[in-house]
Every structure is written in C-alpha cells, then in structure tokens.
Amino acid sequence: MVSLDKAIVIRYEKGGERFEILADPDLAWDLKQGKDVDLDEMLAAVEIFRDARKGERASAEELHRAFGTTDPYEVARIIVLKGDLHLTTEQRRRMLEEKRKKIATIIAQRAINPQTNTPHPVERILRAMEEARVNVDIFKPAEEQVQAVVEKIKRVIPIKIETRKIEAVIPPQYVGKAYGKLKSFKIIREKYLNDGSLQVVVEVPAGLTDEFLKALNDLTKGDVKTRLVE
C-alpha cells in the first residue's frame, strides 16, 4: 500500500457526482496503460471518497447507483481507467526527477564512450540530458524513452549503445550459484563439458561488463575463465 504523502488524487465524475481515490501515480498510470497492477499496492486507502482531501467517503448507495457495485477495488479500477490523474507541482517534480534518473541509469548500463570504450557515469548522462534540453515524459516507461534520449545527448557527449559477448567456463561446483546471475542476461549458447563445467556465452550491456565479470569472480572465488567473443 502506497503512503499518503506519495499518493495522488484520481477523480472521476459520473451522473453529476464526483468520486475520488488516493493512489500511487506510477501504478495508476500502469493500470491505465493496460498493465496488471496489484490494487492493494496502488491504493493508499481502500476507500472511495466524495472528497479525498477532506476524508468524505462515498456511501454504498452512491457507489451502487454510479457503478453498479460497492466493491471498492472494482470501483477504484473504473476510476483509474476513466478518471483524471491530478498531480501536485511537487509530485510532478519528484516523478520527473525519478524518471530522469531511471533513464540515465539504463543508458549508463547499456552505453559506452566509443572514444575510451568505458561507460559514462549516471551523473554525466544526467548533465548531458540537461545540456541537450531533453524532455522526459513522466508517464511513459523509461525503457521506451532510452533510444530517443541517447540520440539527443549524442550532440553533447560521445555515446554509443553497445553489447558485448562474453564466454565463461564455470567449474561444476559453482554452476548452481552462478547460473542465476547468467540468466539475468541474454544467454547466446551453453554446453556442459566432459568435466561437468559449464561453458556459456552471454550477451552483456557494455556498461555492465565490469560488474558482470566481478560477480562471476565473486561467485566462483576467482575460479572462472572468461574472454570476450568477437
């Protein structure tokens, strides 16, 4: 359940009557976009209000007349899908900052500076976004904005989205522990060798190469063989 200080008012009017809920703005937007959302996590209170800020609740009779049900979850779903999201200036500022950081983090993980073959720090990407006057949509998923942002900040910093293929040979006693980490990336091919070791080729975002190699070394206590695959 979202806290009240992070919740926004979502309002819906029907038959001349106003109904409101208090909900997490991101989860409410996800629901509005057709995604599967846990309503208990989305709602700050499992209540339907006439005026949420004053705490005036809608009666069962009013709910049944307007929605044909008194189930607060079903009514809340309708209000989100058909209603209006009202963000305060502070909520909009906070959501914008969080979305900017999320986009910058994804870019830092996937992109490199082609001049040095090293990742750009998140803070450098954020500065480039500011210098390039990048506009971020607070309601659009960060993943869907990454490519457009990269194209814009190319005018400010040298940057290129790139992946690397890494081959790893993991001794049999560490395969179980290491496989979970491997599965978090795209596995290109894998096979077990005669001694039970796992030979695997994984596609890793360029910016995560060092982190990936360190994780494998930690999981195998350094007993892993890795190489870049051209």
- The yes-or-no verdict on residue 224 having pLDDT over 80 is yes
CATH topology of domain 89-161: Arc Repressor Mutant, subunit A (1.10.10)
Residue of higher predicted confidence among 101 and 117: 101
Q: How many of the other CB atoms lie within 10 Å of CB of 32?
A: 16
Q: Structure pTM?
A: 0.64
The 8-14 sheet, strands edge to edge: 56-57, 49-51, 17-23, 8-14, 84-86
Residues 206-229, mean pLDDT to the nearest whole number: 91
Residue 173: predicted pLDDT = 94
Residue 42: predicted pLDDT = 94
Q: How far apart are CA 203 and CA 209, in angstroms?
A: 10
- 11, 125, 206 from 160: Cα distances, Å: 43, 12, 10
Residues 203-221, mean pLDDT to the nearest whole number: 90
User: pLDDT digits over 67-100, tens only?
Assistant: 999 999 999 999 999 998 877 787 788 889 989 9
With 0-12 / 13-18 / 19 or more C-beta atoms within 10 angstroms meaning exposed / middle / buried, residue 34 is exposed
CATH level 2 (architecture), domain 8-86: 2-Layer Sandwich (3.30)
Residue 200: predicted pLDDT = 95
Residues 207-230, mean pLDDT to the nearest whole number: 91
Residue of higher predicted confidence among 118 and 153: 153
Residue 202: predicted pLDDT = 94
Provide the mean pLDDT of the chain: 91
- 55, 111, 138 from 156: Cα distances, Å: 49, 14, 23
Which of 10-14, 77-81, 86-90, 186-190 is predicted least confidently?
86-90
- 46, 83, 114 from 71: Cα distances, Å: 10, 17, 56
CATH level 2 (architecture), domain 163-229: 2-Layer Sandwich (3.30)
Q: Write down the domain spans for the chain.
A: 8-86, 89-161, 163-229
Residue of higher predicted confidence among 230 and 76: 76
